[in-house]
Copies of this chain bind each other. A is one copy, B any other.
Amino acid sequence: MTREPAGDTGADDGDSVVYDLDADCTAEDVSENQPYLAEINGIVDYGVFVDLSESVSGLVHESVLEGTFAVGDELIVELESVRDNGDMAFEPADVGDYTLESVSHDYSLTGTNRLDANVGEQIHVEGEVVQVKQTGGPTIFHVADEYGVVPCAAFEEAGVRAYPQVAVGDVVRVTGTPEHREDSVQIEVDGLSTLEAEDADEARERIDDAIDERAKPHDVEPLIDWPAFEKLRPNLEEVATLLRRTVLEGRPIRVRHHADGDGMCAAVPVQIALERFIAEVHADEQAPRHLIKRLPAKAPFYEMEDATRDLNFALEDREKHGQQLPLLLMLDNGSTAEDVPAYETLTHYDIPIVAVDHHHPDPDAVGDLLDAHVNPYLHDEDYRITTGMCCVELARMIYPDITDELRHVPAVAGLSDRSKADAMEDYLELAREEGYDKQRLQDVSEALDYAAFWLRYNSGDQLIQDLLQIDNGDEQRHRELVSFFADRAREEVDDQLDAAMAHLEHEDLDNGAHLYRIDVENYAHRFTYPAPGKTTGEIHDRKIEETGDPVITVGYGPDFAVLRSDGVRLDIPNMVSELEAEIPGGGVSGGGHLVVGSIKFVKGKREEVIDALVEKMEDAELDDALSSAAPIDD
């Protein structure tokens, strides 16, 4: 781009260069004492009007004109004067022979990080359009440059799409005026054009490089010293990078998480960290409302029904609000083969998927479908590194300022999933320093679980934040609410067990373990808290405490059974495979960890399946180290 004449170029000694302004040049591109090519567009008594560009025109007074003119004639002129109101007057320039040199408009770009300093002044921004939203008033183009995303309001007419040819993904140059909004700046668009060819490539490369840089996660100090955890850190950093990049690119994020204590401890910190980063990137407190959504999932895997629903919403949001399709973030969920059909549904659309989970993964099944995958089992660690623990670090990598609000969260996560990690002591100590003793942490965990049950498919953002005491100031309410919910949860567990314990069938297995069976359909209240999985878990825990011996507990309903065991070397995935083969027409499926899991079967084969299962358990060796404490999905 030739930018000379707009500055002080020294090319003013009457040489033979005449400047030809590009159509988009403005008055700012016109220098004094420079000859410009003009075209006559009107003739009046007192002179002729000339155009130098689309927006630069002015009068040449008849007193300085000689000869006759027709509209359309060319004329070489120099600037004579500029009036207060901006009207320009020109005079003919005498240049003899000349060569034309075209002049591009001088677009000095202003980064979206410097809008504040330029409020009220016309500036230029170059970036990629990441969303085009038609409002009842202006059309809002969200434009991402190297520094952030800014909404650019172009008003054509109320409710009318401005610049209909500009689409998401285009690289554009916006000319406009930044204006203050409450907590944000918006550009009022004066002009907007799509960059073409090299200009676009160059701008896109510049922006991409910058986003690469900015997407890098913060290098946060681990909350505690835990070598095992450090093995996961590079993977978490990869996820943090991906999520930050997603935000920088203006793509929405949909979080699906396991609806229990650990799942909440995982999802809420990441949600809030992302919300704050989104608000920052967009310089808009309202942006997170449209760009991130957290949804609890009832099943321990990503169901087809949820996937079709998510896809539906995503396609509708694209249609209605001009949004990009979202990234799907699976938390405390999403590592297993059961997730595959739902994932495959989404892969036909531009929907990246990321999972952070600590359930026993099936990397062969999900590996190719995930854009990133964090799971302790991928590093020879296990469920004891809970998803909540991972996600607290992840949240800090995304938005480190959140750290002080999260110090108690890993301990809650650990207690929720009964993590036997050695690091639990350190996490508990960390929480204690924040005023959370173990009982209070336990209460938070129970309260989360209880609230999750009644919230069903609602995220209950405010309520959960009150329970978890993140992003929230009213400690009094937090404490009272936690106590109340935790107490209710315990009472309802007691009620449930009052009914159930009387019907527990006990058997001494040959291997010396106790086997307890309970028909949760017949001997527990249905459709209320605690659900069958948790009911079974609570019975199991009581029996371990009561006996001090190895214990296996089976809670069964009409077509499912939940298994818990401690001190017994089971291999549930293997048992399920065997049952599948041994019981034709049993419709057996299921899975879990070695010593904890759940099985589905057809109702009519329940007795046979469970009897066969127990038989297999008879043969299992005892092993003190094995515990089903967590993370069973109630």
A residues apposed to B, CB below 8 Å: 135-138, 153, 156-161, 164, 179-182, 304-305, 307-309, 311-312, 315-316, 319, 341, 344-345, 348-349, 451, 454-456, 458, 460-463, 477, 480-481, 484-485, 488, 495-496, 498-503, 519, 521-526, 529, 559, 584-587, 589, 600, 602-605
Contact = CB atoms under 8 A, between A and B. Distances in A.
25 contacts: A137-B158, A164-B182, A305-B456, A308-B451, A308-B460, A308-B463, A309-B458, A312-B458, A312-B460, A312-B463, A315-B461, A315-B462, A316-B461, A345-B484, A345-B485, A348-B481, A495-B587, A495-B589, A498-B585, A499-B586, A502-B584, A522-B602, A525-B559, A525-B587, A525-B602
A461 B526 CA distance: 32
A603 B523 contact: yes
Contacts of A138: 158
Nearest to A456: B305
A479 to B, nearest CB: 10
Contact of A587 (B137, B156, B498, B589): B498
B526 A559 contact: yes
B602 A524 contact: yes
Q: How many copies does the complex hold?
A: 3
A522 B526 CA distance: 18
Given A160-B182, A477-B348, A454 B523 contact: no
Most buried by B among A160, A308, A481, A495: A308
A70 B424 CA distance: 73
A66 to B, nearest CB: 32
A304 B463 contact: no
Nearest to A455: B308
Contacts of A312: 455, 458, 460, 462-463
Given A158-B137, A179-B157, A456-B305, A484 B519 contact: no
A322 to B, nearest CB: 13
A397 to B, nearest CB: 27
A501 B585 contact: yes
Contact of A137 (B136, B308, B485, B496): B136
A521 B524 CA distance: 18
Given A348-B481, A484-B348, A524 B587 contact: yes
Given A159-B181, A345-B481, A523-B604, 11 more contacts: A160-B180, A160-B182, A305-B454, A341-B488, A499-B602, A500-B585, A500-B602, A503-B602, A503-B604, A521-B603, A523-B605
Most buried by B among A138, A308, A348, A519: A348
Closest 4 CB pairs of A and B: A502-B585, A499-B587, A522-B604, A315-B462
A349 B455 contact: no
A157 B181 contact: yes
Contacts of A587: 495-496, 498-500, 523-525
Contacts of A135: 136
A182 B161 contact: yes
A264 to B, nearest CB: 14
Contacts of A523: 585, 587, 602-605
A287 B592 CA distance: 51
Most buried by B among A156, A345, A484, A499: A499
